[in-house]
Amino acid sequence: MTAGTGTAAGALAPTGFLDFDSAPVRDFVHRSVRAGGTPREQAVDLYLAVRDGVRYEVYGADLSRAGLRASTVARVGSGMCIHKSVLFAAGLRSLGVPARLVFADVRNHLSSPRLRELVGGDVFRQHCYTSVFLDDRWVKATPVFNRSLCRLFRIAVLDFDGTADSLHHPYDLDGRKHMEFLRVHGEFDDVPHERVLADLREGHPDLLGPDDRVVAGSLRTDIGARP
């Protein structure tokens, strides 16, 4: 774990999960980022590519060590908040931009009835987003909910310009409560895998199967069925 100030070699290095030296991550970054752009421009390009180019799906998400590698996420093209944040952070590091993973517990008021049942309420442990070092300061970025999913849930799309924090909105487009941040666990140079899995299994015992995958389903089907 690291503090969210300053820079550190750990925020730039490849890791077991942020394997940006792998071909799938290199290819994803190459096709997503403009050549010759400034670090901030490239970070914004990458943010949009991860947000809208990697499908957000909780159900069936692979939370094993292999499933959470950035190279796997780039190849599979889908995942939940941890997967998308891992790919974004890995891609940033490949561009020479320091990046860390942030884990927090949140209250999500707009999840589907089935997901609330599996989670055991509206509090979700170990939500993940990123901390990015641009222009001599750390800013937060959340390339999680893609544009089409935001339309279905009637929440504003989260943009990121590299100068200000991009965190989930507290309310949806109809004024209903959306997301509350309850507890920030810290910023990490790599996925604290054992800690995250243990906390998810303790807090949401019905969510994960024995293979470290979220149970099967479809969030889009859930959204269509919700009242």
Quote the number of domains for the chain. Answer: 1
User: Is 57 among the domain residues?
Assistant: yes
Q: What is the largest CA-CA distance in the chain?
A: 48
Reading the block at residue 52, the tokens are 């809208």
d(CA 220, CA 172): 17
pLDDT at 9 exceeding the cut of 80: no
pLDDT number for residue 1: 46
User: Is 226 among the domain residues?
Assistant: no
User: Is 4 among the domain residues?
Assistant: no
pLDDT number for residue 7: 58
User: Is 90 among the domain residues?
Assistant: yes
Residue 4: what are its φ and ψ, rounded to 5°? -90, 30
pLDDT number for residue 3: 43
d(CA 31, CA 23): 12
Of 112 and 198, the one with more pLDDT? 198
Query: What mean pLDDT is predicted for residues 72-85?
Result: 98
**What is the CATH classification number for the domain harbouring 152?**
3.10.620
User: Any bridge partners for residue 99, and if so which?
Assistant: 132
User: Is 120 among the domain residues?
Assistant: yes
Going by C-beta distance under 8 Å and a sequence separation of 6 or more, which residues neighbour residue 77? 53, 54, 55
User: Is 64 among the domain residues?
Assistant: yes
User: Is 2 among the domain residues?
Assistant: no
User: Is 141 among the domain residues?
Assistant: yes
Helix (H) or strand (E) holding 13, with range, is: none
pLDDT single digits (tens) 163-177:
999 998 877 888 887
Helix (H) or strand (E) holding 166, with range, is: none
Reported confidence tier of residue 154, pLDDT bands at 50, 70, 90:
confident
Share of the chain above pLDDT 90, in %: 78
150 is in which domain, residue-wise? 9-220
